[in-house]
Chain A
């Protein structure tokens, strides 16, 4: 509702991001590419979080996308751009089928299941060597755009734009109201005619689609996929920490968080080769304890009440007594 600024700022940011390759050297560009990759993942994670469901399986759908892209090129002869799209569709389709089952789960049971799924994907790909190349992984004969760094950067930027567009669509449409209502109280939501399962499925499939696309782009950009590389838990950890720090339940938070943490991480990586990720763990802990609304939430808190990660409390002992 904040008039001109509300679209001016994103537009300026996008223009700046798009022009970056023209002014920056190769190293900052590589950093920016990695920041944007995590940014898209952070936004996609937050989109599902708005329904109150926490996914610990970002790396799973990211990795699935990377492999879908690699295999569609190597075994299906697809063009690189098409393979990226295929990666998204494949990850989304898997999420749709699995979601029909696992979206009946709530809270920690859902979260742990997503974590287990990521592990299952990894084990399948690692062991199905004939088709997937096994533990050694797959190598593409050539990179997309012949590995030209500016084009690769713009490709990743395109993924961020897609993620932002989807996220904004969620925010500006009835989907925001549906997901917020589900997060707050499912009984009340259903009493207003909201089909809870349908909206959970939409959020899960769209966020997995984005994760798949990002995975596909990563694969095309580096030309290599192995189970350990693409299912690396950092692809779950970093986006999660970024979204939490920036502020959840909206597009600006993950963007801000990814910028800050992504750049900070590059700096730390240079100085502390082992264990620089400790910063992420500590940030997660501190944010949850002292600033659950995140940085963007702090900026806004004059206008709105504090919103915790999820308002409806589910009793851990609700079943199985």
Chain B
């Protein structure tokens, strides 16, 4: 009951915010939603890993960076593929890479204390970004694609529409993963492993393999996200770092294992960031709002947990 009431309350708050923003600056709403789409698309694979493998992967954003470099240098420069086409082979290569990472590193730290895992994936993050630095220097690369500047006009407001791709991908990822986890044999096994690895092992599920597959799926999805990221953004070795932090914050806000919740939280944060960006002279502060809201959420949640 309490859950329902709070859901209604949240819906009311968001609706009120949306109306206010529409009255104030309609484009802010559009950019907020688009931004939310990107955040959610990046965060959802992390939610999958955290929910089932119970690993906080601090190399998450760096994997997106690796995928984007792959899409740029191999797929685009070498083979002349558009990122939308490249995302399929990039996803496959990334999935294989994910499997390798799991087998070579993560697997061996699963039984270790959580803090060892944290430092391990932190080390992986550094290794990935510095390998990119080593190979391509800190120079940034960007594609210039004509379709990313597509725009639409409603009434007297015109805005870019390409970024709605991120929203579509985020929703597809959330819905797709939900269906995968609830409908398929593999997905159900993964859910069981996520909830109780020992119990799952007793009923004959190969826990290690399930972890490996889920990790590899998540990294594969980062292949898709990374390719899409490349369409519009400039890439450089450190580009993924902030996304690791933001993704973790979103996942923590949504609650571990709640993939659809990531969508809502991204929406709330995307909108607040867009609002701050929309105020003249305050654009630089938008990051701080993001982190402040998130720290507050983590704190409130942890306090509530203590009381319960």
Contact = CB atoms under 8 A, between A and B. Distances in A.
Q: Do chains A and B touch in the complex (CB under 8 A)?
A: yes
Interface of A: 52, 54, 56, 101-102, 104-109, 111-113, 115-117, 119-120, 123-124, 126-127, 233, 237, 240-241, 244, 272, 274-278, 280-285, 288-289, 292, 308-321
Contacts of A274: 133-134, 137-138
A241 B123 CA distance: 8
Interface string B38-76: 000000000000110011100000000000000000000
B135 A275 contact: yes
Contacts of A102: 295, 299
Nearest to A275: B134
- B contact face: mostly helix, strand, loop, or mixed: helix
Interface of B: 50-51, 54-56, 105, 108-109, 112-116, 118-120, 122-135, 137-138, 237, 241-242, 245, 248-249, 252, 254-258, 284-285, 287-288, 291-292, 294-295, 298-299, 301-303, 305-306
A115 B245 contact: yes
Nearest to A54: B115
Given A119-B291, A274-B138, A285-B127, A109 B133 contact: no
7 contacts: A274-B133, A274-B137, A277-B130, A310-B115, A316-B54, A316-B55, A316-B256
B284 A127 contact: yes
A111 B303 contact: no
Q: Which 8 A-B pairs have the closest CB atoms?
A: A275-B134, A284-B123, A281-B126, A281-B127, A278-B130, A320-B255, A275-B133, A319-B305
A319 B237 CA distance: 33
Contacts of A101: 299
B248 A112 contact: yes
A112 B245 contact: yes
A112 B133 contact: no
Contact of A319 (B112, B138, B285, B301): B301
Contacts of B133: 274-275, 277-278
B299 A52 contact: no
Contacts of B285: 123, 127
Contacts of B135: 275
A119 B287 contact: yes
Q: Which of B115, B126, B137, B241 has the most CB of A within 10 A?
A: B115
A288 B116 contact: yes
A127 B138 CA distance: 25
A316 B197 CA distance: 14
Contact of B294 (A106, A116, A278, A308): A116
Contacts of B299: 101-102, 104-105
B110 to A, nearest CB: 11
A320 B127 contact: no
B137 to A, nearest CB: 5
Given A105-B302, A112-B245, A281-B127, A288 B119 contact: yes
B128 A281 contact: yes
Nearest to B283: A127
A292 B291 contact: no
Nearest to A108: B56
Nearest to B111: A313
Given A278-B131, A281-B126, 12 more contacts: A106-B302, A107-B114, A112-B248, A124-B288, A274-B133, A274-B137, A277-B133, A283-B123, A284-B119, A288-B116, A289-B105, A309-B112
Nearest to B122: A284
Given A120-B288, A280-B126, A282-B123, A109 B302 contact: yes
A288 B298 contact: no
A211 B292 CA distance: 23
A38 B108 CA distance: 30
Contact of A317 (B54, B120, B241): B54
Nearest to B126: A281
A284 B120 contact: yes
Contact of A318 (B55, B119, B134, B305): B305
B302 A104 contact: yes
Contacts of B292: 120
B123 A285 contact: yes
A117 B54 CA distance: 24
B113 A308 contact: yes
Contacts of A288: 109, 112, 116, 119-120, 123
A127 B252 CA distance: 27
Nearest to A53: B115
A286 to B, nearest CB: 8
B113 to A, nearest CB: 5
Nearest to B246: A116
Nearest to A119: B291
A21 B253 CA distance: 52
